[in-house]
Structure 1
């Protein structure tokens, strides 16, 4: 049978509550002494922290505890605190005590008494216990109804290890899930890297006010994510101001500094009146500086001062102004490379890169095409007040193309949003059908070709060119080329027909009790006179 742990009480001397002289002190409720008079509690050791000026009170309390509980070992610790209402001083003193104290959690249990001491001291004890620097439970005591010495009052214990409380843990997990969903606007994304990034950002959003740097290609969703971070912070009452967004690539010359930091009347030709500037507009809110790498070096220096000091000079002014804003910066450039080239300040990059995340482009998140397609259709329907529906055949065709190598998505989510908007606008009676989808696919192909890129299905080094003659490819619809290109590419990456089937039919096979994915792939290839082994041999 395990030996019971010793019970240790740690608390701060109450210069008022614990004080008292003469025989009448036993008629007064003194929390530290009264705890040792409880009939159902044995305290093996008591650690009392006190100020140097309260040595006499501490010594008398020690004597009274020993008188009430002779088996208790009472130890006094002098705290070097000049101002007991100074949070920094009190926390530092208690933290030093916790660091020095020889805790032995295997043999002892610790009750942290928070009834006595200033409110600041009680808060510090709570924080240190919550952070497990004081590895125990909180002890709260209260007086009896009649203070005549007949009752030691009441006590209660609070364990701050929330993992022990299933209901609290479930509620906490639910809250985290809501935060993650809010950052994704409720879109059930499937990309592992993106979801991992959102999980971390959901914590940072409510725990940190430091700048966040979002990197990634144009159209990857940096502005969208910044807006969602702002909404989450505001919901948690961390921000009360506005969301201010500016694309730094649109700021040039003297107008750049004026737009960001404001100016006073007469600062330069054309400055007919004072201008507040975007930084002041973001006071107590969030400033999103997209394409921050496009800022000039002078503006970068001014921005660094504004971030660090929350103060700056408007253009043409000798008087500083203040703005307490939080910053999210976005860029599609390699800022570290720009630092080496002298185009970006190293000290500014160091200041904004504490939390740096790279958003993957849409071509790297093809598994998220379906949920984003549904989200965009719902958004369009809500805006237009008309339900837009895509039939199953049309949806399958569109998603197969969207996930294929032929879909370049050079503009990332902007391309997808534009595509959905076109189809939804042209939909007859709110129904997107197969001809409309095929027309949209051709439009996307033309748009990307106009930008100087060819769909993979039409490139001369396409794998299909090794399986079919030029005439056979010319007689094959673009749609069939695109779909077949994807299937063949998967086959080349797979060790067997079964593995290729599992990859190609991952979503539908999960809904079936039995599946024969290999047979589905084999029959599809046979439509074009192909076999799995033939494909692998042709490209070796």
Structure 2
């Protein structure tokens, strides 16, 4: 039997009584729950405000006299307004997140008989959302009896017979979904539906999950967020262990995954626990699982099903209870057909399979991810960079265009934003910076689309549509010369080198300025200085 821990509020009215022997004839919920012969309370976390500290001490003394084995742990929790739902829920959520729960070592009951109605509702919702990892406890006086014991009932919200009252708390669910998306306000309907389903699966299942999608689609980041969400809800307490299976080759693969004993092979100078042991009570993320050898696949399958495996050179099995998330950019069904991936392992992984779309299939999510990447840059570098309005519009016009390949998916986008933010000395990304970056991306993706000539970073889509091919080629050349020149005058001298010798009065800078103005462009937008 694991120790039993009860969490509940001190009842400022129900738990109060006059000191004297008659108090034992009054039902006091907090004292009474420790007086049941069939309910052994090993620890009682007693929530109370500063104003009720004296009553808390009084109740603690009475509990010590009737249940010496119960350790009372007073926990101060003050509310400005105990009937303010937002304040009460927020402070209880903070308590739930910071309290060192250990569901593997202790059982928990959440006492909802005492406290204000708002507090009781909040305790119910936090328990139902698994922020408090236990069952609900209700107590009440015994009819017709003049004793202080009363009766008790435990409610397991996971039981199907309570489905009618276990309506999911919409705000908590939305918070969890947003957490999985790193707070990004994504707009792609299919992606949002997938994240909603992952949130429900993560809250209710420890079965393996398979994340499929192209490289850079965000499988690793999503796996880590799933782990952090489950840890936040006290469903995992171990570490998050990530390994790229493509790096596990040859004899070292077995040792890295399953560990080895000292002397198991040449160079094995000490015992090695292995990645599976490191993930005990936590989560193991095997990225690119399709790269594993067949022998490693067989041992992984047994480790998933039996929680046991044999380290290299050992004569005794090791144990590890972890949750597995696998990632791959391969078609595992095809790998099974080709004989490079075990059918039984694929069947075990295929219970919860989610396909992450690439960035090219989520173009409407580029704008919110752009803001997210700028926030990440600010956190890393301590420098906040923003777009000016025109630059942002032009970058998004380029990024969301049908011919933008985004072959590296979100890694391409993150690198692109980092480059522009780094090169923007004045804290603002301007049109010139956007033009240089879009040209770099086209080169990265293997050239530019015929007819565009790199102008998307400088002209709005409607301007591009109205541009004749002749003007497009000419303007692209002018912009290239400007970017190579140190000043507007130098660019003008280069561009008008022949005609300027035939004129008695020359102002190449003004002539070039007027030409750029035809396209609503300025030297400051495209030049180096």
**TM-score normalised by length of structure 2:** 0.58
Q: Residue 468 of structure 1: CA displacement?
A: 9.0
Q: Is the 8 A contact 2:310 2:316 kept in 1?
A: yes
Q: 1:159, 1:248 → 2: CA distance?
A: 40
User: Where do 1:22-37 residues align within 5 Å?
Assistant: none
Q: Tell me which residue corresponds to 2:258.
A: 261
SS of 1:245's partner is strand
Q: Tell me which residue corresponds to 2:431.
A: 434
- Alignment RMSD (CA, Å): 3.5
Q: Tell me which residue corresponds to 1:420.
A: 417
Task: Deviation per CA, 1:478-530: give whole Å up to 9, x if none.
Answer: 999xxxxxxxxxxxxxxxxxxxxxxxxxxxxxxxxxxxxxxxxxxxxxx9xxx
Q: 1:313, 1:186 → 2: CA distance?
A: 41
- Within the alignment, does 1:365 sit opposite 2:362 as a pair? yes
**Alignment gaps of 5+ in structure 1:** 1-129, 131-137, 460-464, 481-526, 528-540
SS of 2:270's partner is coil
Q: Is the 8 A contact 1:244 1:288 kept in 2?
A: yes
- Within the alignment, does 1:227 sit opposite 2:224 as a pair? yes
Q: Residue 162 of structure 1: CA displacement?
A: 8.1
Cα gap change, 1:154 to 1:448, in 2 (>3 Å): closer
**TM-score normalised by length of structure 1:** 0.56
SS of 1:363's partner is helix
Q: Tell me which residue corresponds to 1:281.
A: 278
Q: 2:205, 2:227 → 1: CA distance?
A: 12
Cα gap change, 1:467 to 1:370, in 2 (>3 Å): closer
Q: Tell me which residue corresponds to 1:194.
A: 191
Q: 1:179, 1:457 → 2: CA distance?
A: 46
Of the three residues 295, 309, 312, the one matched with 2:309 is: 312
User: Where do 1:439-458 residues align within 5 Å?
Assistant: 439-449=436-446, 454-455=448-449
Task: Deviation per CA, 1:38-83: give whole Å up to 9, x if none.
Answer: xxxxxxxxxxxxxxxxxxxxxxxxxxxxxxxxxxxxxxxxxxxxxx
Of the three residues 297, 301, 304, the one matched with 1:300 is: 297
Q: Is the 8 A contact 1:406 1:456 kept in 2?
A: no
SS of 1:238's partner is coil
Q: Tell me which residue corresponds to 1:403.
A: 400
Cα gap change, 1:395 to 1:479, in 2 (>3 Å): farther
Q: Is the 8 A contact 1:215 1:333 kept in 2?
A: yes
- Within the alignment, does 1:386 sit opposite 2:411 as a pair? no
Q: Tell me which residue corresponds to 1:474.
A: 473
Q: Tell me which residue corresponds to 1:97.
A: none
SS of 1:475's partner is helix
- Within the alignment, does 1:323 sit opposite 2:307 as a pair? no
User: Where do 1:130-279 residues align within 5 Å?
Assistant: 142-144=141-143, 146=145, 172-279=169-276
**Alignment gaps of 5+ in structure 2:** 1-127, 129-136, 454-463, 480-518, 520-529
Q: 2:472, 2:400 → 1: CA distance?
A: 21
Q: Residue 159 of structure 1: CA displacement?
A: 13
Q: 2:188, 2:309 → 1: CA distance?
A: 41
Q: 2:376, 2:314 → 1: CA distance?
A: 45
Q: 2:152, 2:422 → 1: CA distance?
A: 68
Q: Is the 8 A contact 2:451 2:469 kept in 1?
A: no
SS of 2:396's partner is helix
Larger Rg: 1
Q: Residue 406 of structure 1: CA displacement?
A: 2.9
Q: Residue 472 of structure 1: CA displacement?
A: 5.5
Q: Tell me which residue corresponds to 1:76.
A: none
Q: Tell me which residue corresponds to 2:87.
A: none
Q: Is the 8 A contact 1:406 1:457 kept in 2?
A: no
Q: Residue 473 of structure 1: CA displacement?
A: 5.0
Q: Residue 314 of structure 1: CA displacement?
A: 0.6
Cα gap change, 1:223 to 1:393, in 2 (>3 Å): same
Q: 2:291, 2:200 → 1: CA distance?
A: 29
Q: Is the 8 A contact 1:283 1:323 kept in 2?
A: yes
Q: Is the 8 A contact 1:405 1:455 kept in 2?
A: no
Q: Is the 8 A contact 2:246 2:292 kept in 1?
A: yes
Q: Tell me which residue corresponds to 2:39.
A: none
Q: Residue 147 of structure 1: CA displacement?
A: 6.3
Task: Deviation per CA, 1:89-138: give whole Å up to 9, x if none.
Answer: xxxxxxxxxxxxxxxxxxxxxxxxxxxxxxxxxxxxxxxxx9xxxxxxx9
Q: 2:314, 2:469 → 1: CA distance?
A: 70
